[in-house]
Structure 1
Amino acid sequence: MKLDTGLSTRNLRDVPAAARAAETAGFDAIWIPEAGNDGFLPAALIAEHTKRIKMGTSVAIAFPRSPMITAATAWDLAGLSEGRFILGLGTQVKGHIERRYSTKWEAPVPRLREYLQSLRTIFKCWSEGGAKLSFQGKYYNFSLMTPFFTPARHNFPNVPIHIAGVNEHIIRLAGELCEGLHAHPFNSPKYLREYVLPNVEKGLNKAGRSRKDFEIQSTAFVIVGRNQDEIKKTREAVRQQISFYASTRTYKIVLDTHGWGDVAQRLNEKAAKGEWVAMAKEITDEMLDVYTVAGTFDDIADKVRERYDGLLDRVAFYIPYRAGTDDAEWAKLAKRFNG
């Protein structure tokens, strides 16, 4: 299991220093959230200012972007990083696609399937120096690629693609067409073992692929601190965040797995009223224990391994490493995972 981290800054000017610090600490990859910022721009800075560490979007929202636009950005980042870039994509939910992005919402899994297939078609065209481009689907059609618009070839045309998924059909799609799955931070070992893994396997089997060719990654709710007071404070912040995620109907399956589906309805009603603080009271200590793992820097590595062994191939902590804060502790932790 590799230990990654999330990008801790939203200021582009601070990205180079944050990336260098994460690489020095020994993390295997940096994941870039698309929350308040573009998901791709920091990747260019990370690629330019580091030599070893991987970087990926976690996740870029697919549907507001044409696959051609996404392909061009990913192609350039793959070349710049010399193969260290991972393209992480997500569908988002209907309300955000329609009301935040002003984009038409259509059947997300069939549309994402075409999105992935068209990306592969475009990458193949470019890897062959602009060979005939031909992709015809229900949602996307590509048939024109002239020399002027064909990017220069490089040695890293097979850009790895990971997609985010919570429900069965999109998880199967990841197993069938992608190199990895972003399992949502709101997860539990039971949900991963009984729901995610079987559906990944169904997708892999459909494509005749092996589990060893596929990565499951999560920016999980791992709470780490120097002492119990720090852990307790962070635990309460995580309780609030879990209540936000659990209020979204898309994530109800994670609650259903443990028999807590009724909580989703109550949280959804409170969210509709803007009762954000009150929502946290719906997340009991028992639930928090199921959906998080907590410990000090000395024991958290063993706890994470025990919890996620055989379930995750990569893990990042939901609250990421910040340069200048417990650097030595994080470096020792990264070494325990990444050697």
Structure 2
Amino acid sequence: MTALFGPTDAIERAHALREAGASGVFTFEGPHDVFAPLTVASTVGGLDLMTNVAIAFPRNPVQLAHEANDMQLLAQGRFTLGLGTQVRAQIEKRYGTDFDKPVARMKEMVGALRAIFAAWNDGERLDFRGEYYRHTLMTPTFNPGPNPFGPPPIYLGALGPLLTRATAEVADGLLVMPFGSRRFLDEVTMPNVRKGLAAAGRDAADLAIVPEIIVSVGEDHTAARRLLGFYGSTPAYRPVLDVHGWGDLQPELNTLSKQGRWEEMGKLIDDDILHTIAACGSFAEVAAHIRGRVDGVAEQICLYQPGPIAVESLASIVDALGS
């Protein structure tokens, strides 16, 4: 899958990405609404659609359930609801909502969504009572009834050990954050996945693993360095840097971010960091990085571009991955 950006060119972009060999498109919670481009792209057909990710906490489970149910109808069963927590500063200062106990809140969000979907699809009485969400009324006027394609799967984006374990316990899939590496995947992510699966009595086959990988084609990686500088400034992502001995860079990047010195942040991302976290260079080099990141772990990936990749370039990457 590859990224879809704004809604105004979503149809044209989705057609082009399908022709280039992408199996689907995803959106992220950026400068545009996360669902609108997918709604438009659903008219193209033949593509998997995913939010990667919709920020969960500013939304209510019933609201999310309606949006996801409608997307599942439009996509004819090829929609995945990907949810994420974001970080405390963004949730509290940008969205103006609560962030306390994010792991427990996210687990409860998934439970509430499943209860709502069961009420619609199986006729079960809606009676969900949790610490954060309470849903006990679903009258016929607001009940869309059974979805002919079934409820959409729920994937969660996770990086930290507690949320990764919780994802393995309750979700249908794990969206591996783009700021990562193969070493972090092997030493931190997958051990916590196994712990979560064991705690819930689930098998590995019960959880899809979908890594998202930052891709920068060519020789100019300025945008990729800037993106990594932004991610690296966030305390939540320091564990990725720590695994490689780069942890001291995080507070330095954080200080610059608070001063709005974005260009300087990108310049602190050296070649070792760039090529460890992002797939950069020629089509063959990008494909080799991707294979090294996911072999033996995942069968599907999401390509995250700092800016839209030319369709011809994407097609070449797909070809290189298949060779």
Which TM-score applies when normalising by structure 2? 0.93
Matched, 1:232 2:226: no
Matched, 1:28 2:23: yes
Q: Say if 2:291 and 2:321, in contact at 8 Å, map to a contact too.
A: no
Alpha carbons 1:71, 1:123 under 8 Å: kept = yes
Indicate if the aligned counterparts of 1:295 and 1:303 stay in contact, CA closer than 8 A.
Answer: no
- Displacement of 1:183 after TM fit? 1.3
Partner of residue 165, structure 1: 158
Q: Please report how far the alpha carbon of residue 162 of structure 1 lies from its aligned counterpart in structure 2 after TM superposition.
A: 0.9
Of 280-289 and 19-28, more deviation after overlay is shown by: 280-289
RMSD, aligned α-carbons:
2.0
- The equivalent of 1:61 in structure 2 is 55
Residue 197 (str. 1) matches residue 190 (str. 2)? yes
Is 1:311 the counterpart of 2:304 in the alignment? no
The answer to whether structure 1 residue 106 and structure 2 residue 100 are counterparts is yes
Distance 1:296 1:288 in 2: 14
DSSP-derived class of the 2:184 partner = helix
One-letter amino acid of the structure 2 residue matched with residue 17 of structure 1 = E
1:102-137 CA distances to partner (integer Å, 9 max, x unpaired)? 1122210111111000000100110024x3101111
2: CA distance, partners of 1:280 / 1:121: 44
Which residue is 1:251 aligned to?
A: 237
- Of residues 204, 212, 216, the one that matches 2:205 is 212
C-alpha contact (below 8 Å) 2:28/2:51 kept by paired residues: yes
Corresponding residue number in structure 2 for 1:228: none
Q: Which amino acid aligns with 1:105?
A: F
Distance, in Å, in 1 between the alignment partners of 2:177 and 2:203 is 22
Higher relative contact order (CA 8 A, sep 6+): 1
CA contact (8 A) 2:226 2:266 kept: yes
Distance 1:13 1:292 in 2: 28
Deviation at 1:336, TM superposition (A): 5.5
Per-residue CA deviations over 1:43-64 (Å, capped at 9, x if unaligned) read 22222221x2101001111111
The 1:74–1:166 alpha-carbon spacing in structure 2 relative to 1, beyond 3 Å, is same
Match for residue 149 of structure 1 among 142, 147, 152: 142
Provide Cα deviations, 1:149-197, integer angstroms capped at 9, x if missing partner: 1103222223111111110011111111111111111101100111011
Task: State the match for 1:43 in structure 2.
Answer: 38
Aligned identity (percent) is 37
> Which whole-Å CA distance do the structure 2 matches of 1:118 and 1:306 have between them?
37
- The match for 2:167 among 145, 168, 174 is 174
1:285 to 251, 263, 271: 271
Offset of 1:309 from its aligned partner? 0.9
State the match for 1:227 in structure 2. Answer: none
Q: 2:120 aligned with 1:123, yes or no?
A: no
| C-alpha distance in structure 2 between counterparts of 1:159 and 1:202, whole Å | 25
Q: TM-score, normalised by structure 1?
A: 0.89
Alpha-carbon contact 1:44-1:77 (below 8 Å) kept: yes
Conserved 8 A contact 1:57-1:86? yes
After superposition, give the CA deviation of every residue in 1:230-274 in whole Å (9 maximum; x if it has no partner).
x221x2221121111111111111111112211111111121222
CA distance in 2, matches of 1:308, 1:167: 19
Equivalent AA in structure 1 for residue 254 of structure 2: N
- Please state how far the C-alpha of 1:33 moved relative to its aligned partner: 1.3
The alpha-carbon deviation at position 40 of structure 1 amounts to 1.0
Q: Relative to structure 1, is the Cα distance of residues 280 and 25 closer, same or farther in structure 2, using a 3 angstrom cutoff? A: closer
Identify if the C-alpha distance between structure 1 residues 206 and 253 changes in structure 2 by more than 3 Å, giving closer, same or farther. same
> Which residue of the partner structure matches residue 315 of structure 2?
331
Q: 2:287 aligns with which of 301, 305, 308?
A: 301
Which residue in the other structure is 1:273 paired with? Answer: 259
Structure 1 residues 305 and 103: CA distance shift in structure 2, 3 A: same
Q: Work out the CA distance in 2 between the residues paired with 1:21 and 1:281.
A: 33
Tell whether 2:1 aligns with 1:19.
no
CA distance in 1 between partners of 2:261 and 2:159 (Å):
25
Deviations 1:72-110 (A, max 9, x none): 110111122121000010111111111111112221011
- Asked if residue 5 in structure 1 is aligned to residue 2 in structure 2, the reply is yes
Contact 1:163–1:180 (CA under 8 A) maintained in structure 2: yes
In the alignment, what sits opposite 2:249? 263
Q: Which amino acid aligns with 2:177?
A: H
Aligned length, in residue pairs: 323
Counterpart residue identity of residue 103, structure 2: V
Whether the 8 Å contact between 1:5 and 1:321 is mirrored in structure 2 is: no
C-alpha distance 91-110 of structure 1, shift in aligned 2 (>3 A):
same
CA distance in 1, matches of 2:199, 2:82: 22
Displacement, 1:319? 1.5
The answer to which of 246-255 and 100-109 deviates more is 100-109
Aligned mates of 1:190, 1:322 — CA distance in 2: 27
Q: Which amino acid aligns with 1:259?
A: G
1: distance between equivalents of 2:275 and 2:106?
34
Q: Distance in 2 between matches of 1:104 and 1:186?
A: 25
Unaligned runs of 5+ in 1: 225-230
